Structure 1
Amino acid sequence: MNADDQGREAAHRPAGARLPPLLGVDDLDQLQAGLRQIAHAHDRMRALLGAVVTISGALELDVVLRTITESARTLVTARYAAIGILGEDHEFTSLITSGFGADQFRGPGGAQLPHGTGLLGELVRHPGPLRVDDLARHPRSAGFPEGHPVMTSLLGVPIRVRGTVYGNLYLADKEGGSFTEDDEDIVTALAGAAGVAIENARLFERLRQATEDFQRRLLPDLPRLPGLELRSRYQPSTDAPRIGGDWYDLIHLPDQVPCLMVGDVMGHGLEAATVMSQISNMLRVIAFDEQEPPSRILRRLDSVLHQLHGGPLATVLVARLEPAADGGRLLRWSSAGHLPPLLVTPDHRARYLHADTGLPLGVDPGLPRPDHEQAIPVGSTLLLHTDGLVEHPAHPIDEGMDRAAHIAATHTTRPLDHLCDALLAHEQALHDDVALLAARLTNG
């Protein structure tokens, strides 16, 4: 700036005004440190918000508890984390860990839960945030059981559900130093969100159990029949609890032939369950009256439903297991848009009996429905199921059917209960309800 410029600036400057002082190196360092603190606090709040969203999105209680433990450990960069669940007597009933396994430390009777005599018990007796920099020097420290990792520092906060302490969240050994007041605040905030998530998970479990109990009450008990070993399963979707329209049934007809039935009403909810109950009860009466063939039973059922209820959409399969001259059975069946039967023979072969499935009930009651036949040798197993067993949003239904057939083939000689359980032991969650009816031909 030359002399003329300085003169012009001085002329426009208010009288008595001074130029702001230039920032020194120390001032810049303080400013940068403050900005770093603001950025760090912002990052931690974002991490806390992300953890709360993740916890709130889980519905299974064990998943919620594991997520809380992992999230807390990550938020404060702790090496170890655990949630100790308390019973009504304020004793530990279970321990969920992260960074180490609860089975690492064992007592004479196996895996050992904390006794609550040391610092963990201090938090039980006085539920509030607890921060300890040096565990070895704390007067209430009781040491560690054999096999337990040695820990040096601790941060603990209670988790309350509806105002009652549900358990305690413990963090140990912060990376790079001791736990801070900010760590305590952020873990306390997480524990508050955890209490809400735990209560939601418990409500979800109660609702799912009530839904499953109601659904099972709609399904029949299987009769005891000579020459047949019978088993059934109903497994609800692992998604949000919903009453479904899947069912199975088996009755002994007046001509002494077992009649097997399985069906699935379109949709979920109370309406689907009501329609399912109406269809299954009506089908029982019509099958008992008509007896044969299965196609005529389905046509009459479709006609009656159309006249009384406007034709609700449902898939149904009706099958008769008639005596055969060789001691086996002749399977005669007809389908209204339902998946075919799965036949497992004693030679460890399993195949679906693909045939014309026809259209579901409720489409056109005047359409003809074909009957199909298949010889069933003694020792074979017949499986009727709904589509929830083989359908998955990420895979074609053919893959699910191939998987079911493979599992059935490998369990040919196993007890029928084992076969049913193996079919339902999905590696992935069930996205729809499953009704399964299994019949094995015996020599009896």
Structure 2
Amino acid sequence: MTQEPPDGSEEEGHPAPGISELRSRMDAELDELAEQLRVLAGAKDRLRDLLEAVLAVSRETDLPVVLHRIVTTAMKLVGARYGALGVLDDSGEQLEQFITEGLSEQERTDLLGVELPRGRGVLGHLIHHPEPLRVPDIPSHPSSAGFPPGHPPMRTLLGVAISVRGVIYGDLYVSERHDGRSFDRDDEDILVSLAGAAGIAIENARLFQQIRGSAERFQRLLLPTLPDLRPFEAAAIYRPAAAPGYLGGDWYDAILLPDDACAAVIGDVVGHDLRAAAAMAQTRSMLRALLYDRLTPPSAVLHQLDRTLQAMAELPLATACLARIEPEPQGWTLRWSTAGHLPPLVLTPDGQARYLQAEPGLPLAVSTDFRRPDHVFRLPPQATVVFFTDGLVEDPGRSLDEGMAELAAVARTHAGLPLSDLVRTLADRAPGDGHDDLAVLALRIPELPVR
């Protein structure tokens, strides 16, 4: 009868593994499993980062912002110190724009006066061979042409082409990983994926630019060119909203009337679409006809305009301020009425800026059952009356009173400018946040009326 060998003994020439060897094997397998989990977690993190980057790039609509965002996003995804985006010219043979990120102030100073890269050397290789390019040592690459004076040293490069509608738009480059290693296949895959999203974002931004330009041209066609208003001086300016494709409802007009008065109006139709723009054009045309037909106080003209608007197809809510500057034996009188609009601002020759605060009245298209009041103010010679829409002063981050106070301060400081410069300055330095369109109309009062 044979006796079974105890644990740890040899069996038919095969030695049984010892406890230490089993532990070593288990540790190795656990280390391998931990490495696989680390790689999977890293891949998951990079995929999440890529998705977040695609969303961030796609949200932008301003083309210059989109291009810079693409470069900074690429640098972040692959951990690169430098990044650049070269935009090709119409020939597709050389660069017409080169956007860089990652350069320090000193490095940018060192490159002052250096010409824009023309697409030679390694950069040119990607232009003529639009396949992903990984270069572990730039000076050793056959296409390398060296760096210009002042250029920071760079050894590694990863570049991918960006195409829009099947046409190469430009090339995206990153250089020098922060960890000192060369770019690998994972970096290339990430950048290729980003380039695909970048092409869509660039196309969307270009379409937004076209839409915004068309909307602005359409809006300006609806606004009048101010006629000769002598002896008055007049100037006006319109600025569209910052949001692309917005059609605004802001409008203005000024005309000389048969009774030697000068009429001025500014208004704002609620909305930012074709309906608002069409309503603005209708309102302005009807008001001009009523002004010529009825040489009556502004309140009566606004009342008749309100009745006419409500008798037609439903039009959106609108505000307006209508004024008549009337000659008097001893000077000029401003007679005005508002329909829910902001008050005029009067700049006097002695350096004062004063809002003509008065009962605002109801906006147009609300009700015709309420009386609209008229208001009167004696204007000194050489005074300037400024009419404006709320886009000039509204900012959700602060009160309307603060915006109007800032506007008055800017107007007071620049009151002596020619009117065209004054309205442009007010629009350029507007306290508003730019999310609404704005219009400014200014009239400068002459000396005593000619009798």
| TM-score in terms of structure 1 length | 0.89
For structure 2, list consecutive stretches of 5 or more residues without a partner in the other structure. Answer: 1-21
Cross-structure match for 2:19? none
Correspondent of 2:71 among 45, 69, 79? 69
Query: Are 1:53 and 2:22 matched, yes or no?
Result: no
Q: Which deviates more, 147-156 or 169-178?
A: 147-156
CA distance in 2, matches of 1:143, 1:403: 54
Cross-structure match for 2:418? 415
Query: Are 1:277 and 2:285 matched, yes or no?
Result: no
How far residue 255 of structure 1 moved from its aligned partner, in angstroms, is 1.4
Cross-structure match for 1:403? 406
1:362-381 equivalences under 5 Å are: 362-381=365-384
CA distance in 2, matches of 1:85, 1:211: 27
Number of residues paired by the alignment? 421
Q: Which deviates more, 95-104 or 195-204?
A: 95-104
Cross-structure match for 2:30? 28
Aligned AA for 2:172?
A: L
Q: Is the 8 A contact 1:103 1:111 kept in 2?
A: no
Cross-structure match for 2:121? 118
Q: Is the 8 A contact 1:105 1:112 kept in 2?
A: no
Cross-structure match for 1:201? 205
Query: Are 1:347 and 2:350 matched, yes or no?
Result: yes
1:143-158 equivalences under 5 Å are: 143-158=146-161
CA distance in 2, matches of 1:427, 1:153: 47
Deviation sequence 1:193-234 (CA, Å, 0-9, x none): 000000000001101111111111110000122233322111
CA distance in 1, matches of 2:312, 2:268: 19
Query: Are 1:127 and 2:106 matched, yes or no?
Result: no
Change (3 A) 1:427 1:106: farther
How far residue 325 of structure 1 moved from its aligned partner, in angstroms, is 4.6
Q: Is the 8 A contact 1:159 1:192 kept in 2?
A: yes
Cross-structure match for 1:84? 86
Structure 1 vs Structure 2 CA RMSD: 2.1
Correspondent of 1:218 among 215, 219, 222? 222
Cross-structure match for 2:270? 266
- Percent identity of paired positions between Structure 1 and Structure 2: 48
Aligned AA for 1:182?
A: D
Q: Is the 8 A contact 1:381 1:440 kept in 2?
A: yes
1:147-296 equivalences under 5 Å are: 147-176=150-179, 177-296=181-300
CA distance in 2, matches of 1:248, 1:396: 25
How far residue 33 of structure 1 moved from its aligned partner, in angstroms, is 1.4
Change (3 A) 1:427 1:95: farther
CA distance in 2, matches of 1:166, 1:434: 35
Q: Which deviates more, 205-214 or 313-322?
A: 313-322
Correspondent of 2:40 among 38, 41, 44? 38
Correspondent of 2:324 among 320, 328, 346? 320
Cross-structure match for 1:6? none
SS in 2 for 1:232: strand
CA distance in 2, matches of 1:208, 1:197: 16
Change (3 A) 1:203 1:311: closer
How far residue 400 of structure 1 moved from its aligned partner, in angstroms, is 1.7
Change (3 A) 1:164 1:429: farther
Change (3 A) 1:280 1:111: farther
How far residue 320 of structure 1 moved from its aligned partner, in angstroms, is 1.2
Q: Is the 8 A contact 1:331 1:374 kept in 2?
A: yes
Aligned AA for 1:183?
A: D
How far residue 442 of structure 1 moved from its aligned partner, in angstroms, is 4.9
Q: Is the 8 A contact 1:237 1:433 kept in 2?
A: yes
CA distance in 2, matches of 1:252, 1:58: 46
CA distance in 2, matches of 1:193, 1:347: 59
How far residue 436 of structure 1 moved from its aligned partner, in angstroms, is 1.5
CA distance in 1, matches of 2:162, 2:447: 59
How far residue 168 of structure 1 moved from its aligned partner, in angstroms, is 0.7
Cross-structure match for 2:96? 93
How far residue 95 of structure 1 moved from its aligned partner, in angstroms, is 1.4
SS in 2 for 1:55: helix
Correspondent of 2:141 among 138, 142, 146? 138
CA distance in 2, matches of 1:208, 1:399: 30
Q: Is the 8 A contact 1:105 1:145 kept in 2?
A: no
| TM-score in terms of structure 2 length | 0.88
How far residue 45 of structure 1 moved from its aligned partner, in angstroms, is 0.8
Deviation sequence 1:28-60 (CA, Å, 0-9, x none): 221211111111111111111111000011111
Change (3 A) 1:226 1:377: same
Change (3 A) 1:391 1:183: same
How far residue 145 of structure 1 moved from its aligned partner, in angstroms, is 1.9
